[in-house]
Chains A and B, each alone.
Chain A
């Protein structure tokens, strides 16, 4: 065997290893991205499910003599603090009739438009906002108004 043949083999193995390493790196990157995609998908689907279940949850819905109405009880919203739901914000905004653009609390209620239910913001540019219309019930005046339940998910 020539000395040159031995060196050629080493070079071939080296080049093969480098190409193989680059390919592995590519697959690793692809997998990391796909895991991130799964994570984002899960967060989005969680937001979707929150949007569908919150209006009928005992924390929000209005009931009269134990009969559950498809309305959000605005008095319940005043003191509500939802438990850890990850990086997202959840708020209910009154859209019709229009009222002062104010955060709702005991002092501003009912002349306010935003009820903040959960607020954990992540310093990220990537955010997705989804919302559904809800009926807002005001037990003190027995009025029903129109609002939006808005869930913002931070990626």
Chain B
């Protein structure tokens, strides 16, 4: 009886030890897999962000294509892969989820001095029709030509739209997006203001208002740089008008920005005529 109990205990001991080791091995394997996935996600996120950042060094409008191997979530200032996120300083206008072949357009945003660079990312399968009619043909062709230059195979400027995303320049029931009086309207009833071509393209691709808020913040930071610069420029030159305009630009939004931008440009030009160093 004593011997039988010993044998039973022996097998129970071996079984328990085996189960413990097995559970340990499996959980370790799973953890290891998880860690490797996280490492890959972090690497992918950083490489993507670095790719965008390296484009920041260029001052020209440019475009490129790109392969995103994993599902990438783009939310305002955050890139996310497999639950891992990374804050980005780049202003990325794109659909919320990207994977596979994507096309990237890149454009410096000026108001009237450079404020930031805009990245436009679209999926390769997304195609855009910029639709004109007889009343606005020239205007639409002018507005959309740079978009077409970024994405030549994915954009058309036409009066008979065939592409997936239809952008009209007046209210139309067929429109996915329509543009009217400095504002971009979406199918769901929401809208966004735009002040120039760079912002219009951004609003057509992404309806994320948060990006426009970041543009505002970036604008304020750059204005601060120029205001500081004025403080170190010669006192015998009159920088007061341009300083006042910069202060106004800081708080101005909407279509007023366009006018103010033109005023600033003229004030800056006038400095050169007076043999004074320009501000921008």
Q: How many residue pairs, one in A and one in B, have C-beta atoms under 8 Å apart?
A: 107
A75 and B10 in contact (CB under 8 A), knowing A34-B39, A49-B54, A58-B222?
Answer: no
Interface set, chain B 6-65, CB cutoff 8 A to A: 6-7, 9-10, 13-14, 17, 21, 28, 32, 35, 39, 42-43, 46, 50, 53-54, 56-59
Q: CB < 8 Å: which of A31, A46, A52, A106 contacts B232?
A: A106
Q: Does A123 contact B (CB under 8 A)?
A: no
A139 and B233 in contact (CB under 8 A), knowing A52-B54, A65-B268, A65-B278?
Answer: yes
Q: Evaluate contact between B229 and A45: CB separation under 8 angstroms.
A: no
Q: Which residue of B lies closest to A17 (CB)?
A: B21
Q: CB < 8 Å: which of A6, A76, A106 contacts B6?
A: A6
Which residues from B are CB-within-8-Å of A79?
Answer: 225, 228-229, 231-232
Q: Evaluate contact between A64 and B278: CB separation under 8 angstroms.
A: yes
CB distance from B210 to the nearest CB of A (A): 18
Q: Mark A49-86, 1 if CB is under 8 A from B, else 0.
A: 10011011111010111101010010110111000000
Q: Does A35 contact B (CB under 8 A)?
A: yes
Which residues from A are CB-within-8-Å of B233?
Answer: 75, 139-140
Which residues from A are CB-within-8-Å of B59?
Answer: 56, 68, 70
Q: Evaluate contact between A63 and B114: CB separation under 8 angstroms.
A: yes
Q: Does A125 contact B (CB under 8 A)?
A: no
Q: Does B161 contact A (CB under 8 A)?
A: no
A66 and B110 in contact (CB under 8 A), knowing A1-B10, A76-B229?
Answer: yes
Q: Mark B244-280, 1 if CB is under 8 A from A, else 0.
A: 0000000000000000000001001100100001101
Q: Which residue of A lies closest to B86 (CB)?
A: A42
Q: Evaluate contact between A75 and B229: CB separation under 8 angstroms.
A: yes
Q: Which residue of B lies closest to A48 (CB)?
A: B50
CB distance from B60 to the nearest CB of A (A): 10
Task: Give the contact-size bracket for chain A.
Answer: 35 or more
Q: Interface majority SS on B: helix, strand, loop or mixed?
A: helix
A38 and B116 in contact (CB under 8 A), knowing A66-B265, A79-B228?
Answer: no
Interface set, chain B 105-120, CB cutoff 8 A to A: 108, 110, 112-116
Q: Which residue of A lies closest to B219 (CB)?
A: A58
Interface set, chain A 1-58, CB cutoff 8 A to B: 1, 3, 5-6, 9-10, 13, 16-17, 20, 24, 27, 31, 34-35, 38, 42, 45-46, 48-49, 52-53, 55-58
Q: CB < 8 Å: which of B14, B57, B277 contacts A53?
A: B57
Interface core residue of B39, B231, B232 (most chain A CB under 10 Å): B232
Which residues from A are CB-within-8-Å of B278?
Answer: 64-65, 139
Cα–Cα distance between A53 and B57 once the two chains are bound (Å): 4
Q: Does B234 contact A (CB under 8 A)?
A: yes
Q: Evaluate contact between B17 and A78: CB separation under 8 angstroms.
A: no
Cα–Cα distance between A35 and B39 once the two chains are bound (Å): 8
Q: Does B3 contact A (CB under 8 A)?
A: yes
Q: Evaluate contact between B6 and A49: CB separation under 8 angstroms.
A: no
Q: Which residue of B lies closest to A59 (CB)?
A: B225
Give the interface of B toward A (CB within 8 A): 3, 6-7, 9-10, 13-14, 17, 21, 28, 32, 35, 39, 42-43, 46, 50, 53-54, 56-59, 108, 110, 112-116, 221-222, 225, 228-229, 231-234, 265, 268-269, 272, 277-278, 280
Q: Can you sample 8 A-B contacts with CB below 8 Å?
A: A1-B7, A6-B9, A53-B54, A55-B57, A56-B58, A56-B59, A106-B232, A139-B278
